[in-house]
């Protein structure tokens, strides 16, 4: 049926005015039929003049949602109502594609009555898509700011890119070592393909990655990629853009379409823009993940270090190493083997997650390297400080791996300074495949800490052994020296008393010196024995009830001969303290060492011993004062340590070995008290010892 058109005169005028106009111009009636259209309009929508004569309706041109809106505007305009003259319409072209036009409408009148609507339009598809593209970039940028992980970043951009470029699918491949991993996708097949990995050296996507250039394929079935996975799955057009700013690409962004189409220059440029934005986002996400991974690895190794510090015994330490490796590595089992150079083998000393019979078999078989083999094996590489990864059972060992329930393992040397002390092996019972960088770092970190911890444990054990030998030697030698020295002093006292005949004056003086120096030597031996018992932890408190006066009397007699002639030695008066219940020999040693130390450093003046009783606390206080050379401030903290002396300018006869004040401090603490000192160079010293009157039970 022929449809209406403009009347002849008006049609000629329309053609004369609008036929060659660059804009789209058409007229339609109130029922939606196109009455006239210029050349630009016909070419735009794909209809000929003959089509128009047969009849073209707006329903055939406008998108369904726009058709109803347009017809409402037509009816209101022709009824004389006011309408917005400018608007946008989505046009469906005859070939099925769609475009957007900006339109301006006005009413055509004849004899004063409106009978048609004249519309002038301009194609704004590219403008609209450009604006939409820019808006999408802004939205994507906002989304990337809050995207926590690389997979989320990739999914956001793939979704946006697929929507803007109007492709069936967008896929993000990121390089991981020697592979490309498909970490994100949007569109066709996305849920099935994410997680795939392809080797860079032997895959289609690897070839595209290595090319490092934008690739456009319009007819995949007749291209170099006809045998690729995409072609098999029905992809007909493909666009691939490398993710690169500097250096090798981070990965590849691939767009795929199952319909024949042309990736225009505009689409290609937009894909490159998306890829550039994605490159920055991927770099940032990878940096965040590396930072998080560093934090996790550091935290894991810190926990391992804290656990290892809990023991200094090697037998306990190796068990903790195996447990930490299994727990922090999140694997099924872990084994520690220590290198025995004499037996030329690794000896399994600890395991977590392994059966006892498996360990017994390993013990029987032995982990012995074979340097004579044609190529270095696992143990040979470990001895060269190399980490060995076995993602599956090696050839020839399938039966052993199956028997031991080992699917994959990682063997890490425990070495320090290029010297291997052992190995750490960990792995899985069912999982095969390569270990992640995080798993390797944790395993190597545990092994490094383990090597240091084992060496420290061995050093500590060597020191303990040496200390035990030293203590036993000192104790034995002191006893061996004390016995003959006591005999010497005994005979000397008999001779001095005339039991072996009268002595000349020179002989008597010589015996006095023998007795004096012998007593000093015996005191040194006793002090050495005291120190030996203190260091060995064998010093005990043997409390008894006694009066201080008896101790003072003994000290007055023993130390009187050591007092220089120009020094006055004063003692507390009788009855200065109530009876004490403490270790008498240790209290005597405390006072003797303090007084002897004061006499040693006082050549002129006075040394006094004071005693006070605090009835409220039930404590006693001893104060030893001297007018000697004094002690510098920097030395006040160290004088109570072993072998520490101040005043090296003293004559050798008055110098000691630096054990007296150490014994004072240790005995005072053993009796439940405390010692302090006040001194300054040239102003003498004051030593204060405070003790409970009754020694605490120990």
Q: Which residues pair with 422 in a beta bridge?
A: 338, 414
Q: In this predicted structure, what is the pLDDT of residue 345? A: 86
Residue 220 CB neighbour total at 10 angstroms: 21
Residue 2 pLDDT > 60, yes or no?
A: no
For 186-245, the pLDDT digits (tens) are 888 787 888 888 888 888 888 888 888 888 888 777 777 777 766 656 778 888 888 887
Lowest mean pLDDT among 126-140, 142-156, 163-177, 392-406: 142-156
Say how far residue 584 (Cα) sits from the centre of its chain.
Answer: 57
Q: Could you give the CA distance from residue 590 to residue 48 in angstroms, rounded to a whole number?
A: 123
Q: In this predicted structure, what is the pLDDT of residue 260? A: 67
Overall average pLDDT of the 19-27 stretch: 88
Q: How confident is the model at residue 473 (pLDDT cuts 50, 70, 90)?
A: low
Q: In this predicted structure, what is the pLDDT of residue 649? A: 45
Residue 652 pLDDT > 50, yes or no?
A: no
SS3 label, residue 62: strand
Q: How confident is the model at residue 164 (pLDDT cuts 50, 70, 90)?
A: confident
For 541-595, the pLDDT digits (tens) are 889 999 999 999 988 888 877 788 899 999 999 888 899 999 998 898 899 889 9
Cβ-Cβ contacts under 8 Å for 368 (sequence gap 6 or more): 344, 345, 346, 379
Lowest mean pLDDT among 42-46, 505-509, 541-545: 505-509
For 334-370, the pLDDT digits (tens) are 988 888 888 888 888 888 887 777 677 666 555 777 6
For 391-416, the pLDDT digits (tens) are 998 887 788 788 888 899 999 998 98
Residue 376 pLDDT > 70, yes or no?
A: no
153 phi, psi to nearest 5 deg: -55, -50
Residue 105 pLDDT > 90, yes or no?
A: no
Cβ-contact 158, 183 below 8 angstroms: no
Strand order in the sheet with 98-110: 34-37, 24-28, 113-123, 98-110, 86-92
Q: In this predicted structure, what is the pLDDT of residue 408? A: 92
Q: In this predicted structure, what is the pLDDT of residue 474? A: 64
């Amino acid at each position: 049926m022929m449809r209406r058109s403009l009347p002849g005169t008006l049609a000629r005028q329309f053609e004369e005015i609008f036929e060659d106009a660059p804009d789209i111009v058409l007229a339609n009636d109130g029922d939606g039929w196109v009455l006239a259209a210029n050349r630009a309009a016909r070419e735009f929508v794909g209809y000929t003049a003959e089509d128009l004569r047969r009849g073209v309706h707006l329903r055939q041109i406008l998108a369904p949602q726009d058709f109803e809106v347009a017809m409402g505007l037509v009816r209101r305009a022709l009824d004389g109502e006011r309408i917005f003259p400018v608007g946008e319409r989505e046009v469906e072209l005859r070939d099925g594609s769609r475009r957007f036009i900006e339109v301006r409408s006005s009413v055509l009148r004849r004899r004063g009555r409106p009978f048609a609507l004249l519309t002038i339009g301009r194609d704004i598809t590219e403008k609209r898509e450009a604006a939409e593209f820019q808006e999408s970039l802004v939205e994507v940028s906002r989304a990337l700011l809050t995207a926590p992980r690389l997979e989320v970043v990739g999914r956001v951009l793939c979704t946006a890119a697929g929507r803007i470029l109007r492709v069936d699918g967008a896929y993000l491949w990121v390089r991981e070592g020697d592979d490309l991993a498909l970490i994100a996708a949007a569109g066709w097949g996305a849920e099935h393909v994410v997680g795939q990995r392809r080797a860079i050296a032997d895959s289609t996507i690897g070839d595209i990655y290595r090319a490092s250039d934008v690739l456009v394929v319009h007819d995949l079935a007749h291209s170099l990629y006809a045998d690729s996975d995409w072609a098999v799955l029905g992809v007909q057009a493909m666009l691939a853009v490398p993710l690169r700013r500097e250096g090798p690409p981070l990965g590849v962004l691939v767009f795929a379409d199952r319909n024949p189409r042309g990736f225009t220059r505009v689409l290609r440029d937009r894909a490159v823009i998306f890829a550039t934005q994605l490159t920055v986002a991927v770099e940032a996400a990878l940096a965040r993940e590396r930072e998080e991974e560093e934090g996790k690895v550091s935290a894991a190794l810190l926990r391992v270090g804290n656990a290892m510090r809990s023991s200094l015994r090697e037998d306990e330490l190796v068990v903790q190493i195996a447990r930490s490796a299994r727990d922090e590595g999140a694997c099924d089992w872990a084994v520690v083997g220590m290198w025995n150079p004499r037996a030329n083998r690794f000896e399994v000393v600890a395991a977590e997650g392994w059966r006892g019979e498996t360990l017994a078999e390993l013990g029987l078989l032995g982990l012995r390297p074979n340097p004579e083999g044609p190529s270095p094996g696992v143990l040979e590489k470990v001895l060269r400080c190399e980490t060995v990864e076995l993602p599956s059972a090696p050839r020839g060992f399938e039966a052993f791996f199956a028997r031991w329930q080992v699917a994959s393992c990682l063997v890490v040397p425990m070495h320090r300074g290029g010297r291997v002390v052992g190995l750490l092996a960990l792995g899985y019972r069912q999982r095969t495949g390569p270990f992640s960088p995080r798993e390797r770092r944790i395993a190597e970190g545990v092994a490094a800490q383990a090597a240091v911890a084992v060496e420290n444990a061995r050093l500590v054990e060597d020191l303990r052994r040496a200390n035990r030998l030293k203590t036993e030697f000192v104790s034995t030698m002191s006893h061996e020296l004390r016995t003959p020295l006591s005999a010497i002093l005994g005979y000397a006292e008999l001779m001095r008393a005339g039991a072996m005949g009268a002595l000349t004056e020179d002989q008597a003086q010589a015996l006095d010196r023998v007795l004096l120096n012998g007593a000093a030597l015996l005191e040194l031996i006793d002090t050495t024995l005291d120190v030996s018992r203190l260091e060995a932890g064998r010093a005990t408190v043997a409390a008894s009830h006694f009066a201080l006066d008896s101790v003072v009397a003994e000290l007055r007699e023993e130390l009187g001969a050591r007092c220089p002639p120009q020094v006055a030695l004063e003692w507390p008066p009788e009855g200065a303290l109530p009876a004490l219940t403490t270790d008498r020999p240790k209290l005597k040693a405390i006072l003797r060492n303090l007084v002897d130390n004061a006499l040693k450093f006082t050549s002129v003046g006075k040394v006094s011993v004071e005693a006070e009783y605090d009835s409220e606390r039930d404590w006693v206080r001893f104060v030893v004062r001297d007018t000697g050379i004094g002690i510098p401030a920097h030395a006040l903290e160290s004088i109570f340590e072993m072998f520490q002396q101040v005043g090296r300018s003293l004559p050798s006869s008055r110098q000691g070995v630096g054990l007296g004040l150490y014994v004072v401090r240790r005995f005072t603490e053993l009796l439940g008290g405390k010692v302090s000192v006040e001194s300054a160079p040239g102003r003498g010293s004051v030593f204060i010892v405070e003790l409970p009157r009754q020694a605490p039970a120990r």
